[in-house]
Structures are given as C-alpha cells and as structure tokens.
Amino acid sequence: MMAKIEFGIRVQGVILVAFIQSNKGSPLPGLSLSLGYSVTYLSLIVLIPLSACFIKAGSLSPTEFWTIVWSERTRAAYSLTFTTAFLAALINAAIGFLVAWVLVRYEFPFKRFVDAMIDLPLALPTAVAGLVYSSLYVESGWLGQFLVPLGINAAYTKFAIVWVLVFTGFPFVVRTVQPVLEEIEPEVEEAASILGASRLQVFTRILLPTVFPAILSGFAQAFARGLGEYGSVIFVSSNIPYKTELAPVLIVTRLEEMAFPEATAIATVLLAASFGILAFINTIEIWSKRFGK
Amino acid sequence: MSISVKNVSKKFGQFTALDKVSLNIPDGDLVALLGPSGSGKTTLLRIIAGLENPDEGSVLHRDEEVTSKSAKDRNVGFVFQHYALFRHLTVFDNIGFGLSVRGVPKEKIASRVRELLHLIRLEGLEKRYPSQLSGGQRQRVALARALAAQPRVLLLDEPFGALDAKVRLELREWLRRLHDEIHVTSIFVTHDQEEAFAVADTVVVMRNGKIEQIGTPADVFENPANAFVMDFLGQVNVFQGIIADGLPKITGFSSSKGPPEKDFCSNTIYVRPYELEIEIMPSASDSLPAKVLHVNPAGPVVRIHLQDLESTSRVFVEVNFAKFKELGISTGQKVFIQPKRVRIFAPDYMI
C-alpha cells in the first residue's frame, strides 16, 4: 500500500517536471515555484487521499467490486443521493437567484445583516442543522404540529432530505450570482427598454441569459455539496435501506461494520459519478459563456 | 420628426441639472448639445429619450406630448457612450433585438439587419459577439441597433467619447455622411467643441443647466453670445483693458495715450490666438511689448507662447508657417503684438 502511494507521488512528480519544462517560455516569473506549490498542495489535499481511496477499493477483485457497488441497496442509495442533491440544487438555483436579485437591486433596512446571514449555513455544523430541522418538522415540533395534519411530513422522509440539503447548499448560488448581477450596467437594461422591450422581456432576454452561467456554477457547487452531505441528512432521514438511505450514510454504515473495501468501493463509484456530472455541468457552463467577458 | 422641449427642469437632490430649458429642434436636423461636464446636456438628452422624468416642463415629439410616456413607447434610437451592447448576443441578434421584441417576423428582421450591416460596413461579422469587436466596430453596431426599428429620432450620448482619436475622427465623419443619407432627426451630446462643429448643423451650448447659445457652428464660433461661449469654443487670450471712445484698449497698448479718466470703463478684452499679430518693430505706439517663451512649429500653424512684458501674463498666438518664416522669430526674442480683432462681453463671467 505504502509503495503504491509512493509510486503515485513519483508519477505526479514526473508529470510536474514535464509540465514546468513545457512552460519555460512564459514571460511571467515564478511559474515553476507557484505551480510546484499548487501541485504539491493539490496532491496532499486532494489527489493522495482520493488515490488512497481508489487503491483501497482496488484490493477487491472485479467481481467482488461489481457485486458491492451494484447491489440493489447501493443502487437505491445512489439514486436517492443524486435525485435529492439534484432537486435541492435546483431549488437553490431558483431561491438563490431571487435572494441575490433582492440583495443587489433593492435597498432595505438590515440589508448588510441579511447579506451576512446568507453564509451561516456554511459555518453551522451541518449536524446541528439536521437536528434542528428534524425537531422542527416532527409531528410534535413547532412547525410539524401545523404541517403534519396537512399531510406535509417534513421529517424522516425524502422531502426532509431535500429540504435540509437546500439549507446546506443555500449560499452557493447567491454568492456566485450576486457579483454578476452587480456587474450588469444599468445602461444595458435602458438600451433594451428603449428598443421596445417590456420589463419581462428585459428580464428573460437580457438579464437571465447574462447570469445563467453564474447560476449554473452555483448550481454545480450546491449539487456537489448535496452529494457528499452526511452530517445533516443522518438526522433528518430515517435511514431505512432501499428507501431513505443515502450513499454517504451507507458508506459510514459499511465503515462501522469494518468493511473498509466495501466502503471505499461505494465511495469510488460516488466519486466517479460526481466527477462526471460536475464535468458535464462545467461544460455547459463554458458553452454558455461562449460570448466572452 | 421635430422635437420640442418646453421649460424643462430637473433636480438631483440639491443639484440642479436643468433649469427651465426650452429648445426646438426642426425635423431632420443634426444637433450637438455642447457643454462642460455638469452642464445638463446628458440629462436633457435622457429626458428627450424618456430615460429620465423632468420635474417640470414638457417634451413634445412633433406635436404629440410624450412627457409621461415611457422610453419603450417613444420609438427613439439611443446610442450610449459605452455601447451597452448585449454581450450574450451576436452582432446580428444585437441589431435585430428591437425588431424581435416587437414581434417582427424572422425573415423581415434578417433582411433589415443585412441592410444595416451593409450601412455600417460590418458585413461578414454578424456572427461575432461584442467582445470580439473593436471599440469603433462596437459603436457602429450600437448605432445600427438604434436605427433598426426606424426610430423617429436618434439620440447619441457622447457616442465617440470612449474611442481613440483616429477612430473617433473616422466615425464622426461617417455619422455626418450617414445623416446626410437617412435624414433622421439626431441629437448628440459632446463636450468636444471640435466634434460638435465638425458634425452638427446646429450647436446648442449649455452651462449650469441652462442654454447659453443656439446657432450654426459658424455663427456660434464667430459671434459667441458671451465670454463663457467664447472661452469654451477655443483658446482665448484675456487682457484687462479699458474702453475709450467706444474702442477697446488693452492697458499696455494704451498706456502712453492717457485719455481723460472719466471716459474709461474698465473691462476685459478677449482675443483669439489667430487674431493677434506679431511684429518685430511696433507698427503703432500702442503695440504691446512681449518676450517669446516657446515656439511650437509642428504643422501648418505655428503656436507661439509669449509673455506680456507689461502685465507679465502669458499670451498665446497662432500664425501660419509662411508668416512665421518671414518673421524669423526665436525663443527669448523681444517682439510686439497687436490685435486684429477683439471682443468684449458684459462682465457676468470670468475666465
């Protein structure tokens, strides 16, 4: 195992050297130093832990690997993880855009306070969020006592998972859309309305397409956050296998059973799928930015 | 279409941008609103466009009162200083935007856009995005976009302000030719008097939210209404002078004459640099002695800085190159100056 990791570092080192040499002509000084630092840190923080995960999963034979990652229970967990994260990111894209819009376009009392509050979901331990959400929405909770009789059960269900993921991923869309909205010159909107566009047309044909890449980028971040979320969902979900068990929860369950290769195998699939989806979203984002700055 | 502005006032907080301004612009005219920054010219343009509402007064397009109409319903074309193009749309879609939001059929939009692309000489670039164009090209696209829906009036807010000198010159000549072709009533804002004179049929000089003078470029330049207009339209030499027997006398020029004191009326005399003559020997007893400080002989007009030896103030003179050769003056030399033409205004404005 150690030997494998060492080999991994050596390979990266070789790639690094080749990369630096190919950029020798750059007029900006300090390339080799700054790139060296970047790659070293990236290796220590992201690449080595992730490759360790892959290597651990590599101790399984292909058939073992397949039976673990493609069992009915794991498939149910993947599907739940991806759909809830996707839905939550979608809701966040809409709400986040609205909040960013309000923060940029209107002046109101305590605006700075509200602005600061946006980032709270990132600072709060997500387990606390999960606990608070579940206690609020259970039948005896503050909100649950009104909602449950209406048939809205927001604790220990899929709905609850989506709801708490909306909370944890909330800041991303706001923070990516806000600067882009601020950047739009009022002249552009004036130009559109002088050309005969109604307020709605200005919004749908000018503003929305301009901020779309930012919304997408915020969406991708919220989505990625949702995929890996564990702390909050463990409390709001009832964690019933096949029904409300998420992939990260399943991984921890396997770890508790001391089944490390199984846990890493599921993590590997989750990781690969996440990487693929994020790469896809980034591609759309690049495409939607084709008009340049 | 003719445009009338009647008694329009506009305040931004404590700042008075426009103070009871009235203006009539005949159909097909190309008008320059000229003035220093803060003179209210852009505010006036924005009020005509409907981007700003006047506090009082009214705006008429032909005989129709449009004061309360929104910009969207006024059918005006507007060109912004910084282009304000839609960066997520191609050149084609930018130009066609005004037609497309009005629900014009696609084929009609395409043919109109092609027509305009020809007019702005950007055929073949219709698939580009604004970020892929130069400043001059962007401004031409902005112009085509403003013209697409055949506006009744074209308004331009410092349209060449963001361009470099050469492109600016090209584009303003092009705008003049364009106007001669399509005759749409046009108003443009500028702080550059040379630009206003080169392009406009009529120049409106503004200061502190008021109109100082309206006239043709030649008229305004030759007969400035007051000292402000005189100063704003080009360099000017100021002499503290007196008027004797109804004739202006610059202090230095007339010091030896000594007419009775009661005939004097202290005043300021304005002389354009090209209306001063340099003499090696004084042609008259009232010629003003001066020392040559600096000579700039680049181009057909030679610019000479002198120091008035009486008042020690600086004097700026322009002579043509042939005259300069004939005089053969050099830095440090003592010469005499004599005005060909002087102007005097009521003392409401000091340069």
| Segment among A154-168, B76-90, B337-351 with least mean pLDDT | B337-351
- Asked if A293 and B97 come within 8 Å (Cβ–Cβ), the reply is no
Question: Among candidates B148, B132, B146, B136, which has minimal Cα distance to B174?
Answer: B136
Among the partner residues B74, B84, B101, nearest to A201 by beta-carbon distance = B101
The confidence score (pLDDT) of residue B307 equals 87
Angle formed at CA B127 by CA B121 and CA B133, multiple of 5 degrees: 60
In the prediction, which pLDDT does B248 show?
A: 57
Query: Given A195, A197, A201, which is nearest B145 (Cβ)?
Result: A195
Res B323: pLDDT:
86
Query: Do residue B86 and residue A188 have CB atoms under 8 angstroms apart?
Result: yes
pLDDT greater than 60 at residue B125: yes
* Residue A228: count of CB within 10 angstroms of its CB: 14
List, as ranges, residues 121-140 from B with C-beta within 8 Å of A: 129-132
Q: Check if B253 contacts A (Cβ < 8 Å).
A: no
**What's the ipTM?**
0.79
CB contact (8 A) between residue B101 and residue A190: no
pLDDT digits over B27-81, tens only?
999 999 999 988 999 999 999 999 999 999 999 988 888 888 888 888 899 999 8
For residue B260, the model assigns a pLDDT of: 35
Q: Which residue of A has its CA nearest to B84?
A: A188
Write down the pLDDT at residue B242: 64
Phi, psi at B25, each rounded to 5°: -120, 115
Segment A246-264 shows an average pLDDT of: 88
CB contact under 8 A, A191 and B80: yes
3-class DSSP string for A160-209 = HHHHHHHHHHHHHHHHHHHHHHHHCCHHHHHHHHHCCCCHHHHHHHHHHH
Q: Compare all CA atoms of chain A with the CA of B129 and give the residue at the minimum distance.
A: A291
Please, which residues 262-321 of chain B have a Cβ atom closer than 8 Å to chain A? Answer: none
The per-residue pLDDT for B253 is 41
- What pLDDT score was predicted for residue B246? 58
Query: Judging by beta carbons within 10 Å of its beta carbon (0-12, 13-18, 19+), is residue A242 exposed, middle or buried?
Result: exposed
Residue with the bigger pLDDT between A150 and A169: it is A169
The verdict on A200 touching B (C-beta cutoff 8 Å) is no
Look over chain B and give the mean of its residue pLDDT values, rounded to a whole number: 85
Q: Which amino acid is at A129?
A: A
**Does B49 lie at the interface with A, CB-CB under 8 angstroms?**
yes
Is the pLDDT at B196 greater than 70? The verdict is yes
Query: Which residues are bridge partners to B249 per DSSP?
Result: B242
Q: How confident is the model at residue B182 (pLDDT cuts 50, 70, 90)?
A: confident
A169-215 tens-digit pLDDT:
999 999 999 999 998 888 999 999 999 999 999 999 999 998 988 99
Question: Is residue A134 pLDDT above 50, yes or no?
Answer: yes
> What is the reported pLDDT for B231?
85
**Would the pLDDT of A156 be above 70?**
yes
Chain B touched by A240 (CB under 8 Å): no
Q: What long-range pairs does A199-205 form, CB within 8 A, spacing at least 24?
A: A201/B101, A205/B97, A205/B101
The separation between the first and the last C-alpha atoms of chain A, rounded to the nearest angstrom, is: 47
| pLDDT over 50 (residue A9) | no
Taking an 8 Å cut-off on Cβ atoms, the answer to whether A194 and B78 are in contact is yes
Give the confidence band of A259 by pLDDT, cuts at 50, 70, 90.
Answer: confident
The whole-angstrom distance between B7's CA and the closest CA on chain A is 24
Provide the sign of the torsion angle of the four alpha carbons A186, A188, A191, A195, taken in this order.
negative
Least confident of A71-75, A111-115, B41-45, B260-264: B260-264
Q: Using CA coordinates, name the residue in chain B closest to A289.
A: B88
B147 shares contact with chain A (CB less than 8 Å): no
Could you give the CA distance from residue A282 to residue B30 in angstroms, rounded to a whole number?
50
Strands B30-34 and B185-190: parallel
Pairing of strands B210-215, B76-79: unpaired
Q: Is A187's CB within 8 Å of B82's CB?
A: yes
Cross-chain CB nearest to B97 (options A185, A195, A292) = A195
At residue B185 the predicted structure's pLDDT band, cuts being 50, 70 and 90, is: very high
Give the closest of B49, B71, B129 to A292, CB-based: B129
Alpha-carbon gap: B165 to the closest alpha carbon of chain A (Å): 24
Torsion over CA: B166, B172, B178, B180 (sign): negative
pLDDT at B256 over 60: no
**Do the Cβ atoms of A211 and A181 come closer than 8 Å?**
yes
Chain A residues in contact with B75 (beta carbon < 8 A): 196
Interface test with B, best of A194, A198, A288, A293 (most B CBs within 10 A): A194
Nearest to B131 among A187, A193, A293 (CB): A293
At A141, phi and psi to the nearest 5? -75, 170
Tell me the C-alpha distance between A138 and A142, whole Å: 8
Could you tell me the CA-to-CA distances from B312 to B191, B277, B315, B342 in Å, in that order? 31, 18, 9, 20
* pLDDT tens-digit map of A38-48: 999 988 888 88
Q: How far is CA A223 from CA A51, A75, A133, B139, in A?
A: 23, 19, 20, 41
Which CATH number applies to A66-292? 1.10.3720.10
DSSP A44: I
A282 touches chain B (CB under 8 A): no
From CA B340, how far away is CA B275, in angstroms rounded?
Answer: 5
The verdict on A198 touching B (C-beta cutoff 8 Å) is yes
Would you place residue A8 in the very low, low, confident or very high pLDDT band (cuts 50, 70, 90)? very low
- Report whether pLDDT(B280) > 90: no
The more confidently predicted of residues B286 and A255 is A255
Please report the pLDDT score of residue B267 as a whole number: 65
- Distance to chain B for A193, nearest Cα, Å: 5
- In chain B, what residues touch A213 (CB-CB under 8 Å)? none
Query: From CA B253, how far away is CA B243, in angstroms rounded?
Result: 12
Residue B112: pLDDT band by 50, 70, 90 thresholds? very high
Split at pLDDT 50, 70, 90, the class of A14 is very low
User: For all residues of chain A together, what is the average pLDDT?
Assistant: 84
Which has more pLDDT, B310 or B85?
B85
Quick check: A90 pLDDT over 90? yes
Q: Look at residue B212 in the predicted model and tell me its pLDDT.
A: 92
* CB nearest B87 (choices: A187, A205, A291): A291
Q: How many CB pairs under 8 A join A and B?
A: 72
Q: What angle do CA A114, A116, A117 make, to 5 degrees?
A: 65
Structure tokens at A210: 């301009």
pLDDT of res. A258: 86
